Structure 1
Amino acid sequence: MKLQEKYAVNTSLVGRGQPHLGEEHQALGKAVASAGAEVSGKQEADGKQEVPRKSLNTYTWQEIQRHNQRADQWLVINRKVYDVTGWAGRHPGGRRVLTHYAGEDATDVFRAVHPELDVVQLYLKPLLIGELAPGEPSQERHKNAQLVKDFQELRNTVEAMNMFDANLGFFFLHLAQILILEVLAWLTVYHFGSGWRVTIFIAFLLVISQAQSILLQHDAGHLSIFKKSKWNHLLQKFLMCHLKGLSGNWWNYLHSLHHVKTNDYTKDPDARMGPLFVLGDLQPVEYGKKKIKYINYEKQHLYFYVVMLPLLMPAHANLKSFRMMYLKRDWGDIAWVSSFYIRHFITFGPFYGIFGTLLLIYFVKFLESPWFTCITQMSHIPMKMSVEENQDWLTTQVLTTCNVEQSFFNDWFTGHLNFQIEHHLFPTMPRHNYHKVAPLVRSLCAKHGLQYVNKPMLTAFGDIVRALKKSGALWKDAYYET
C-alpha cells in the first residue's frame, strides 16, 4: 500500500512507533488492541490521563497567557495546564526552551522534541495544576483549529506506520564509514610519511569523516537509535566530543532552542548573527532605523565569503563550545573533548609534531566549514525570519525551512538534511524515513495553502547569498532614510 493510500485510511491505528504515549496510554492501547478495538486519533491528541476531572482546576486561555514570564511560567499540553516555574531550572533542554513557550499551547512541540514521552510524563505529573475550561479550544483562538487537527492526525498516521523506528543497520553503516576513514588516514601517514601531497589526501579523508560524524551525532542528539537512552548518550559523546572535538551539551542546548523557535531572531541562536549579519526583512530595517552599523551590511553578502564560510567551524563553533564548557565547568565534556586532541597527538604527532598536528586539526575544520555552512544555512537564511508570532507548529516549520531536491548524492552529502521541512516537523524521526513522509507533508501543505519549497541544491546555495544581499539592501534604505 502506498503512503498516500495509508494516509487516507483511519489515522487512529495504534502502532509500536508511538513515543508520545504515556504509561497510562500504552497500557490502555495494549488492552484495546487485544480486544480488537481501535483508539481514536482524537483521544491520542487530547492525551487524557488517569486524573479525576473533579480534582482539576479549569482555566481560560486569557488566564493562562498571563503566566508567560521567567518567574511565572504555565504551559498547556494536551489541554492540561502545567506550572513549570519552579522546575524550569532543572529542565534537561534548558530553562529558555520552557520560557519561550510560557503562556502558550506546547502540545505539538512537546510531542515533536521528546523521543521518550512516556518517561517525560513522569516529570509532568507533579507539575499538573489544572486543565482548559470545557468551552475553551485546545489551542489559542487565533490558530487554525482544522490545520492543527490535520497535522496531529498526520503525526498519528506516521507513528502507526512505524516511521519513528530507527534502522540500526543504517546508522551502523554510517559509523563504520567514519571509522574506516579515520583508520585509512592514519595508515596513509604511517606508510607514506607527511609530505604535502599525503597531507592533502589525509585532510580530504578527515573532512569527509568529520562531516559524517557531525551528521551522525545530529541523529543521536535527536532520536533514540538504541532502545536504552544511556547508549544514545554515549554514542553522541563519542561522535561529537571524541570524533569532532566539540561539546555535546553545548550543541544540545543551542540546537533545542533552534528547533522550538526556528528563525525567530530574538530566540533562535542560529538566527542571531548580529553584529556580523542582519537577516530577513525585519531585523535589517530595525538596525537601519537605529543607525546600527557594525559593518557595512550592504556588502554583507560579500563578507559572507571571507568570514562565515571559512570560519564558522574552526573559529565560531570551537570558541563557543570551549567557552560554554569553561563557564559551566562541564568536566564530563572537557574530558571527552580532551580525548579528541589526545587521539590526534598520538596518531599524527610522531609525523607532524604537536604544533603541526594542531595545524592539521584546524586545517581540516577550515576545509569542512564551507560544507557545514552551506548545508545548514541553505534551508533557513533564505526563508522567513521574524519575531515571536505564536503560530501553529506546521505553519512555523514550513515557513522557516525548505527542502533540497532528493538524489542519492544529495541525501549522502547533506545527511538527509535536504529534507529540512520533515526534519523540523518530526525531529525524532530517523532520517532514512524522511523521503517516505514527504509526500504526506506536501499534501497537507497543499490542503491548507502553505508553500512547500523544494529546490535544486545549487539554487539553495545561491539563495543564501541572494538573501543576504536583499537584507543588506533593506538595511541600507532604512539606515540612510532621512
Structure 2
Amino acid sequence: MKIYTWESLKEFQQRDCKQKLIVIEGKVYDVTKFMHKHPGGAKLLGAYAGEDATDAWVALHNDKELVENRPARISDAYASWPSRPLVRAAAVLHQVPAPVLGIRVGRCAAAMAVRPAHLDCTASGPAAVHRQAQAGWAQHDYGHLSVFNSRRLNHIGHELVVGHMKGASSHWWNFRHFLHHSKPNVVGADPDINVPYLFLLGDKMPQEWGKRRRGFMPYNWQHDYFWLLGPPMLLPLYFHYENIYFIFKRGDWRDFVWTLSFFLKFFFYVFNHFFPSWLATFGFYICLCATWIALVFVACTQMSHIPMDIDRDQRREPPECRRRLINDWFTGHLNYQIEHHLFPTMPRHSYPLVQPHVKQLCARHGIPYVEKPLSTALADIIRSLKKSGELWLEAYQMPG
C-alpha cells in the first residue's frame, strides 16, 4: 500500500482533481465513488479532499463500525495531523456512561414531539405557531440521528417530520446542515454564511470584494438593512426557493411528495376553516409559522457565528460562544451552540447536562467559554456587520 505524506495529499485538494482522498484516524480512504452515495452529500466529503476529516467523522457518526468501511481504504498517512484539542478531548465524553451525561436523555421527549396531535399542524393562531416550532426542533433531532438507535428509523422519522410537518426536503436539510457542522464559518463551504450578494461577513471577504468592485449592495449600510432583509427573507423566501430548486434539480420526487403533502394539508385546511382568501392564508403562513424559526436561526446560530472569525478553510475550534438568549424552550436548546457542535448526535435536551463538563474542558485547554445576554449578543452582530461594511467601503474606495 502506498504511504501518503501530508505534502503529497495536497494535490487532492484541488477542485479539478477527479480522485477524492480523505484521512480518518491516520488512514487514507478513496471516497471518489462513495461520496455520491453519502447521506450527508458529496459536497461534504469533497470539502475534506486531501485533508484530515477525523474530527468531523467522530462528531457526526454515532455508529462508526457501520460507516467506517463504506469507502475504500487504500493507504496510511505518513504522519498524523494533530486534531483540535477541544474536539479530541470532547470525544472522550462520549465514552462516559450515558446516565452520567444524559446522552440518551431527551430521546423520548423528541419522539413525543411527533405524537398524533402534532401531526395536525393546521390549528389556528398560537397553537399552529407552537406546533410548527416544535416540529422544527423534532426534525432537527431526527436529522442528527439522536432519537432512535437505528439510522434507518431516524431517516424515516426525519422525512415524515421535515417533509409532512414542515414542508421541506430531508435531503436538502441534510446536505446543507451537515456542511455547516463540518466547516463552520468557512467561506465557500458553510452555506449559513454564503450570503455575499446581500451581506459581507468577517474581515477578509469584505476587503476582497471591495478591491474587486464585486457585489451590488451598499454593504456599508448592511448593519441597518439586516433586520429588513435578514430574518424576514431567510425562511419565508430564500429557504423555500432553495428547497424547491434542490428538489427539482436532483429529481428527488419522494421529498417532493412529502413537501406537497404539507402544503396541500396546511393551505386547504386553513383556507377552508379560518381565512376568507388565499392571500390571507399565505400571509398567515409567512408571518407566523415561518417567523419563529427564522428568529431562532438568527438568535442561536448567526449570533454565535457572524461575530467570530470568517475566512477560507482553516483548522479552527467550534463556536466559542454560547448565548442563552431567551430560554431553552423557545430556542429548542439550540442556544447551546458549543455543545451542539461538539455533540451533534446528542439529543438537545442533554446539552444542559453536558455543559459543565465542556466548561471544564475549555478551562483545561485555555479556550474561552463565553456566555452573553441577549442585548450583548444583538449588539455584537450589528457591530460585526458594521465593521465588515466599513472594511468593504474602505477597500472599494482605494484607488486602482
Higher mean C-alpha displacement, 461-470 vs 213-222: 461-470
SS in 2 for 1:219: helix
Aligned pairs for 1:359-438 (under 5 A) are: 359-365=283-289, 367-368=291-292, 369-389=294-314, 391=315, 395-398=316-319, 401-405=320-324, 410-438=327-355
Aligned length: 391
Higher mean C-alpha displacement, 290-299 vs 350-359: 350-359
Q: Are 1:68 and 2:68 matched, yes or no?
A: no
Q: For structure 2, which runs of at least 5 residues remain unmatched after alignment? A: none
Q: Is the 8 A contact 1:213 1:244 kept in 2?
A: yes
The superposition leaves residues 170-204 of structure 1 with CA deviations (integer Å, 9 ceiling, x where unpaired) of 21344459729846x2xxxxxxxxxxxxxxxx333
Aligned pairs for 1:169-318 (under 5 A) are: 169-176=108-115, 179=118, 182=121, 185=123, 202-318=124-240
- Kindly tell me: are residues 67 and 222 of structure 1, through their superposed partners in 2, closer, same or farther at Cα, counting changes over 3 Å? same
Higher mean C-alpha displacement, 62-71 vs 88-97: 62-71
CA distance in 1, matches of 2:204, 2:150: 44
Q: Is the 8 A contact 1:404 1:454 kept in 2?
A: yes
SS in 1 for 2:22: strand
Cross-structure match for 1:14? none
Q: Is the 8 A contact 1:285 1:478 kept in 2?
A: yes
CA distance in 2, matches of 1:204, 1:251: 26
Shift of 1:72: 2.2
Shift of 1:371: 4.0
CA distance in 2, matches of 1:68, 1:301: 35
TM-score w.r.t. structure 2 length? Answer: 0.90
Q: For structure 1, which runs of at least 5 residues remain unmatched after alignment? A: 1-55, 186-201
Q: Residue 95 of structure 1 is aligned with which of 28, 42, 62?
A: 42
Q: Are 1:319 and 2:319 matched, yes or no?
A: no
Q: Residue 281 of structure 2 is aligned with which of 357, 365, 369?
A: 357
Cross-structure match for 2:360? 443
CA distance in 2, matches of 1:151, 1:252: 22
Q: Are 1:111 and 2:50 matched, yes or no?
A: no
The superposition leaves residues 268-323 of structure 1 with CA deviations (integer Å, 9 ceiling, x where unpaired) of 11111111000011111111111224111111111112111212111111111111
Q: Residue 81 of structure 1 is aligned with which of 24, 28, 37?
A: 28
Higher relative contact order (CA 8 A, sep 6+): 2
Q: Which amino acid aligns with 1:362?
A: I
- Kindly tell me: are residues 173 and 281 of structure 1, through their superposed partners in 2, closer, same or farther at Cα, counting changes over 3 Å? same
Q: Is the 8 A contact 2:55 2:87 kept in 1?
A: no
Shift of 1:432: 1.7
Cross-structure match for 2:96? 160
Q: Is the 8 A contact 1:213 1:243 kept in 2?
A: yes
TM-score w.r.t. structure 1 length? Answer: 0.75
- Kindly tell me: are residues 375 and 151 of structure 1, through their superposed partners in 2, closer, same or farther at Cα, counting changes over 3 Å? closer
CA distance in 2, matches of 1:232, 1:57: 38
Q: Which amino acid aligns with 1:463?
A: D
Shift of 1:220: 0.9
What value does the CA root-mean-square deviation take over the aligned residues?
Answer: 2.3
Shift of 1:155: 1.5
Q: Are 1:336 and 2:272 matched, yes or no?
A: no
Q: Which amino acid aligns with 2:90?
A: L
Higher mean C-alpha displacement, 361-370 vs 467-476: 361-370
CA distance in 2, matches of 1:180, 1:221: 18
Q: Is the 8 A contact 2:119 2:165 kept in 1?
A: no
Cross-structure match for 1:11? none
